[in-house]
Amino acid sequence: MVERLKKQPALGALIRLVETWPRLSAWIVLSVGCIVLLVYEARDVGLTAGNWIALIVATVLVAGLCIWIVSWEDEDESETSDQPST
């Protein structure tokens, strides 16, 4: 099924992007989701433009940090699988 989706122009490009840069793709998806939640929850607070920019930048950075921390586990698994078992 994935091969069939890859043949479509828009979806194929998106699938290749996710396969090529999985961490960057995860960062983008997590950032967008967190920003949507932030805007929804803080819409009636009365923040200034500067406050919104600072919150959105902080949200994107925290999402990137989360993806980076989660990726540590991937690196640990690949290191242990490369070593021969004794």
**Could you report the per-residue pLDDT of 2-28, keeping only the tens digit for each?**
676 667 677 778 888 888 989 999 999
Domain ranges of the chain: 22-72
Averaged over 29-40, what is the pLDDT?
Answer: 97
| Mean predicted confidence (pLDDT) in 23-36 | 95
Residue 86 pLDDT:
55
CA 41/CA 20 separation, integer angstroms? 33
What is the per-residue pLDDT for 2?
64
Spatial neighbors of 15 by CB under 8 A, at least 6 apart, are 2, 5, 6
Residues 6, 19 contacting (CB under 8 angstroms):
no
Contact 69, 27 (CB under 8 A): no
For the segment 48-66, what is each residue's pLDDT rounded down to a tens digit?
Answer: 999 999 999 999 999 999 9
